[in-house]
Each structure stands twice: as C-alpha cells, then as structure tokens.
Structure 1
C-alpha cells in the first residue's frame, strides 16, 4: 500500500487513545464540578445550623426570662392578696371600734334621759311631775336629733304619704277626704329611711 493511502486512514490505536483522553478530561471536569457543589451545600448547611443554634439559644433565654417574670408576678400577687386580707381585717376592726364608740356614746346620752325620769319619780306623790317629764322629753328629742332621727308627726289635712304614714282607719272628719284626720301614734325616720311609720286616721270627707 502506498504512503498516500496510509496517510488517508487513522491508526485505530491512536483513535482509542484520543477517546480515552477525552473521557478522562470529562471525568475530571465532572469531579471538579461535584466538589464545588458539595462544598457549597456543606457551607449552606453549616450556616443554617449556626442560625438555628442562635435561634434556639434566643428561645431558651426568652423561656428563662419568662419563667422569672412569671415567678415575680406570682410573688407580687401573693403579696397583694396578703396586703388586701390585712386591709380587710383592719377595716373590719376599725368599723367595729367605731360602732362600739357610737353605741357607747348613744348609751351615755340615754342614761341622762333615764336619770331625769328617775328624778321625776323620786318626787312626792302629790307633786306635779309634768315639768320634769317635759324636760326629759326635750332631752330625749335632742339625743334623737343628734342621731339624725326626726319625728314623723303629720298635721291634720295633710296628704297621706304611704311611705311615711300607716292608715289605721277612716273616720268622719271635717278634713278633706283622703287626708290625715288625726295622728294616732307618731313615727320616726332617720335620714331618708323610715324607721317607724306614723299611725294615722284618714278622713272620709263626711
């Protein structure tokens, strides 16, 4: 075979060597690309782990702080309850003391009324005790006034007040029909509260 013919055909061994070289180059390139991808992924995972660790640490600190705050609030609540209970005890005791003093004051003034009645009875049987009784009544009315107690004593012809007057019966009277004819028994009121209604008779207008 001529040299020209030999030049026109490649050597099979040379072709095989070239293919192997190309394959090796391709493998090297793929391995390098894989190394780059794994390195980036590892860095990303490490960064995520670090961020996650920081978040967990922050949550743990927050949990500790929350626990301390809860303990502080519970302690404050216990102190407040204790203070309120003590306040209630003091207020009740003070109220009882004030009530006792008010009762003592009233009894002391009532003993003055009793002393006047005793003096009136100590007079001779034929003595006129009316002035003493009138004086005692004035003293008693003064004591009632000091306790904000007023006598309910309606005048004849006055309109009947169901809140302050208790109608005993209807009677013939010259007063207008439906008005007070006479007071059977006086009543008492303390401030806006009626302690005992006055007992009255009511005119029927005849």
Structure 2
C-alpha cells in the first residue's frame, strides 16, 4: 500500500470521529437575542391598575372586574385621605390663629385692668390729698385755737371718701356676739355684758365690699363674777 492511500484512509477516519458542530439558524438566534434584550429591559415599576386588570382578564373576566373595582376603591380612599390631610392642616392653622388671638386678648384685658386700677388709685389719692390739705389747715391755726370743728369736718370728708369706695367701719356694739371673721379678741375683761360678748371696741376695723380689710380689735366680757 502506497503512502498516499495510507494518508487518505487516516483522513477519512478523522472525519468520522470528529462530530459536526450544529449550525445555528440566524433567525432563531436573532429572536432569542431580541427576547433576552426585552427581558433585560423590562421596567421594575409596579403595574398600573389597567395593567393588573388586563393581566387578570387573561385568566378570568370576573377576576379582572374585581381587580378594577378594588383599584377604583383604592383611588377613592387615597383621594379621601388627601382631603382629610388638607382639612387637618386647615384646622391646625385655625387653632394656631385662635391661640394667638386668645393670647392677644389676655394681654389686652390685663392692660385694661391695669389701666382701670391705675385710674381708680389716682382718683382715690386725689381725694385723700384733699383731706390732708384740711388737716394741714387745721394745724396752721393759731396756738390755743379750737381745732375740733375743723377736725370733725375733715373726718366727715374722709368718711365720705371711704363710703364712696364702699368701705365701712367695723364697730360692734357692747354686748354684741363676737364674730371671729370680723373681730380680733385682745383680752377678756370684767363686764356687765353677757359672758363671751363684746365688752368694748379697742380699735375699729374696716371691710370693703363685704371683705374684711382689718378686723376690729375688741375686749370680751368675762361676765359677772
């Protein structure tokens, strides 16, 4: 056997042993590449209500209707929630305005009260200085002059001032029952008046609008012994 025949026989054996590589169809490869690209480029966003309903319709029309109804209800609830949020914000703004108005009102009311008190004090002082002027005139009289009429006149004027200010003296009569709210007991003394009653007034008290400014200082009878 010649060398050429030997080479041909070996080439044929090699061809039989080597498997043929499959030839990929160009159209098939292009379709797979396109499909792969589409899968890779899909958006990760959540499907819309129409998308959900459409996908559900692929399986069941009733299911698609239920999905659409649920999505409609969800949209309504979101709208209601947004409306309520707006209302809450409106109410909070109104509350802040009301609180600010109330604080301003309190400041105005306090200022008004302070003004009224200041005016009342000024008026009272202006009347009291008139009483003081009368006392000074009484003291300016010549030595030995009877100043009692002037003092009595000044006292009456002073009492008018107190009366106008709703101030009344507390001067219990002897024999009157002791009132712990209006009387301050200084001591117990022998007296013809019943035991435990007022024997005498040591110093008068004063009350204004039924409020005790100063309790009257009194002595109390120990009764007959």
| TM-score relative to the length of structure 1 | 0.79
1:88 paired to 2:100:
no
Q: What does the per-residue CA deviation read over 1:114-143, in whole Å, with 9 as the maximum and x for residues that have no partner? A: 111111111111111111111111111111
Paired residues, number: 169
For 2:106 and 2:200, locate their aligned partners in 1 and report how far apart those are by CA, in whole Å: 50
1:205 paired to 2:223:
yes
For 2:57 and 2:76, locate their aligned partners in 1 and report how far apart those are by CA, in whole Å: 29
Answer 1 or 2: higher relative contact order, Cα 8 Å, separation at least 6.
1
For 2:144 and 2:181, locate their aligned partners in 1 and report how far apart those are by CA, in whole Å: 44
Higher helix fraction (1 or 2)? 1
Aligned equivalent of 1:188, options 185, 199, 206: 206
For 1:124 and 1:39, locate their aligned partners in 2 and report how far apart those are by CA, in whole Å: 123
Partner of residue 68, structure 2:
50
Aligned ranges 1:122-133 → 2 under 5 Å: 122-133=140-151
For 1:39 and 1:63, locate their aligned partners in 2 and report how far apart those are by CA, in whole Å: 30
- After the TM superposition, list the runs of 4 or more consecutive aligned residues in structure 1 that deviate by more than 6 angstroms: none
Unmatched 5+ residue regions in structure 2? Answer: 1-55
Partner of residue 64, structure 1:
82
1:148 paired to 2:127:
no
